Amino acid sequence: MNALGGIGGLPGGSGADYPSAARVYDVLLGGSANFEVDREMAGRMLAAEPQANRFARANRSFLRRAVQGLLDEGIDQFIDLGSGLPTVGNVHEIVHATNPDGRVVYVDVDPVAVGYSRYLLAGVDGAAVVQADIRDVGSILEAPEIRRLIDFSRPVGVLAVAVLHFVEDAPAAILDRFRVATAPGSYLVVSHLTTPAQMSRETVGVVQRYRESTGSPLTFRTHDQVVDLFAGWDLLPPGVVPVDEWWPDPADLEESADLGPVPIWAGMGRLMPSARA
């Protein structure tokens, strides 16, 4: 069943005639918030790289581990940049399972993702969605949902998971704006595609098909370039590593040993008092 079917409030045309990053990702995660065109795109990706859904699951598992780790550190408010469709292992459910008073604001530019997010979040206390381009940090920080739910005088978890490879120019400048806006003790969580040189031939083929079909720009970054995204943040152990090697679950380690690493970098940084200036 298509979870998007029959939902009021989605934008005209609903995007059913073109694949989107958020909905293709949902397909790979086993979700139902997608259209036939997204399933066709995901099918082509899986035909070229049978591990594509494993890569998506590994990235989602990293998000879960990172959010849970921040909750364990006492973080109770989160901004999820480029959140996509909050359908499989979404942040507010992870947060509210540990802290019912926790607050989450999702940010995405895709009108279908935002419309469906609003539908899912109707009646959910402590969670909201903002439609914005993550490059427009000013509009995000001034959004009514952010001002209502996020207290910038206290630490915030800023999540930039699988989104910055859609930013061609100056992604570090985006993160720097959030660094300046947030209080000491805040955290930054990042995952990002590796470069083609570190991908299998099959994965490179998947990426090429995706770019051709969606028209979405993808910018690959090296390990050092992803490390540089944490400028001004204290990069925490184990540093920037493959996403399935970042404080993995035992099952993730076993899978990686059998199938190889996932071609996505991941890391977490903490904002120290001296880094705010």
CA distances to 46, 109, 127, 167, 171 from 20, rounded to whole Å, are 16, 11, 23, 15, 21
Calculate the average pLDDT of the chain: 87
* pLDDT tier for residue 250 given thresholds of 50, 70 and 90: confident
Q: Taking residues 58-64, report their average pLDDT.
A: 95
**CA pair distance 83, 70, nearest whole angstrom:** 17
DSSP 167-235: --S-HHHHHHHHHHHSPTT-EEEEEEE--GGGS-HHHHHHHHHHHHHH--------HHHHHHTTTTSEE
pLDDT single digits (tens) 92-103: 999 999 999 999
Range in 185-199, 200-214, 236-250 with the lowest mean pLDDT: 200-214
pLDDT at 11 over 60: no
Range in 60-64, 158-162, 206-210 with the lowest mean pLDDT: 206-210
- Closest by CA position to 175, among listed 215, 221, 144: 221
pLDDT at 10 over 80: no
**From the CA atom positions of the chain, what is the Rg in Å?**
18
State the pTM of this model. 0.90
Identify the pLDDT of residue 13: 46
Q: What angle do CA 41, 248, 263 make, to 5 degrees?
A: 40
**CA pair distance 54, 214, nearest whole angstrom:** 21
Domains of the chain, each with CATH number or no CATH: 52-275 (3.40.50.150)
Q: Taking residues 166-195, report their average pLDDT.
A: 95
pLDDT single digits (tens) 121-172: 998 999 999 999 999 999 999 999 999 999 999 999 999 999 999 898 999 9
3-state secondary structure of 66: helix
